[in-house]
Structure 1
Amino acid sequence: MKWLNAVIGKLLLMVGLDLESRIGGSIQFFLYDTMKITGLLCVLIFLISYIQSFFPPERSRKIMGRFHGIGANAVGALLGTVTPFCSCSSIPIFMGFTSAGLPLGVTFSFLISSPMVDLGSLVLLISIFGVKIAVAYVVLGLVIAVIGGTLIEHLHMEDQIADFIRHNPGKVDIESPHLTVKDRLLYSKDQVVFTFKKVFLYILIGVAIGAVIHNWIPEGWVETVLGDNNPFGVILATLVGIPMYADIFGTIPIAEALFTKGALLGTILSFMMAVTTLSLPSLTMLKNVIQPKLLGTFIAICTVGIILVGYVFNAIAHLLV
């Protein structure tokens, strides 16, 4: 969408803004990224929601119930890619899957992958970082989900699930209705409106932060904190990302700005994964569903996995960029 950036630049020049100045550059970055991400977001949500209409929770539960072992974890992680766009939205479905009797490890593979990896993020990442980086991000995100779920399964922590879920077995709340094409199109349109209202503020915040990083923060500062000079940059980025609350669409403009300023690729992706998977609001919701021991295990597995992925990406970045 470079043509859009060029059009915005010409319009700003017509009103007298100097695009080489910090203010002019920030405004151009803000307008371009906001319009690009919002436009792609609406198109992607419509298409993905149409796909989602074929995989309501009850049908997903039945699909996952056909598999066993690590294969079941892989299926749970893959189904997480075509379900809600943030961790808070995934938790009610996780509860339904758990109460329906699915293995704990499988439900956690779903819970990890759902906010971290989705089809929309894949396309947006391709538009900014290229195909190789986007695919590598998705693959490693799925690996974290599968390994994390498998580890939790082998720890046999079923007693850490809240009693109201364990003692209330049954189906996932949403059945699999027969929908016409018109029904699916209406559902997709409603999802666009709902998700847009939910995430647009975070897109604006993310793009604003990205504009500040891109035009106001010296490149040397970013390289010192998140570049080769700091071997602990991945750990720092992960810990900084955890208390934030956003989704993948709000973190992408920040990642884009950091990338152009010299931050290491793995460090940036660790930040994105931490924000989307381990946000405080989602952990607070999860605390009401599982006991502290299991919650701590979940946080530890995800944190270690995200940090390891960051260092792996930093090591192989020269093969991807």
Structure 2
Amino acid sequence: MTEHSSWQIQRRLLQYLNDGQFYSGSWLGKELQLSRTAIANHMQQLQRLGLDIFSVKGKGYRLATPLQLLDREAIQQWQSDDSAPIEVLSITDSTNLQLMQRLQQGEVLPKGLVLVAEAQTAGRGRHGRLWYSPFAASLSFSMAWQLEQGIQAAMGLSLVVGVAVAEMLEADYQLSPQLKWPNDIYLAGKKLAGILIELSGQSDGRCQLVIGIGINVQLPAGQAARQIDQPWADLTSVLGTLDRNQLVARLQSRCAGQLRRFELLGFAPFQAEFNRRHLFANQAVQLMQGQQLVRGICHGVDAQGNLVIENQGKKQLFHGGELSLRAEN
């Protein structure tokens, strides 16, 4: 059985289970013309992807909570006519990796093209850390972009994307997100989303970008507690039911608009927009720079997107690289 046909079967299984009722393996097998063993194997595959499926002897299978699956046609209904395409995958290693491979193979991707997936098996954050993205419980979103001015023009880009995500959450969902330099979005002091930007190009020539955004939508609490080593938030906990297809279209629109603004004006107009949302504004922080620990008061970012930390009356600037910012204990 091919991966595509396996996913088609699993999608049909989820459509049955999505009403919250129990369905027996024998009944599902008859509907899909499969054996009970085959149904059990598909259920196990879905559980390994992070789906919370109850299995009760004598009753069958039931989803712990209803799902909304990503659907390209449903997403298109929320897009404007001039939007770039959005592609939907079921399961992939990493949406960022998929777009980077296509660029490296010479494919010309439309500016603003978005790839989303129901689940990632090798999602990544900064410094190669694993990004937890269970099936249909988060948004795994990657956008292709180009900067004509080269890699140097990308200074501050992750902060711009953070501002775009925050603005979407404020305008469309009436939330009050916070931004943590250089690439995280928080809600009530807990991590909600992360950004990973990967570059391909020359320092003085056209630069290809893949902008990855992972947003927690409805994480299974028990599994998330075992997988995530810091306080986390998700959208469903504060908003209730959420249309993930609409979220994809809104995110693409907001990011594309702010990226076009960034191309024209650089980072300077975003400085105040980032700083007023900064998680550690005017707080005592510690910054790990390799083996060096820097302590001081965080004053947000400057007009180039550098982090500004004041220590004993002197302000130091930090940018990118292997840096880790934390509140001072």
TM-score normalized by the length of structure 2: 0.23
Task: From the two aligned structures, give the one with the greater strand fraction.
Answer: 2
TM-score normalized by the length of structure 1: 0.24
Task: From the two aligned structures, give the one with the greater helix fraction.
Answer: 1
Greater RCO (CA < 8 Å, at least 6 residues apart): 1
Q: Which has the larger radius of gyration?
A: 2
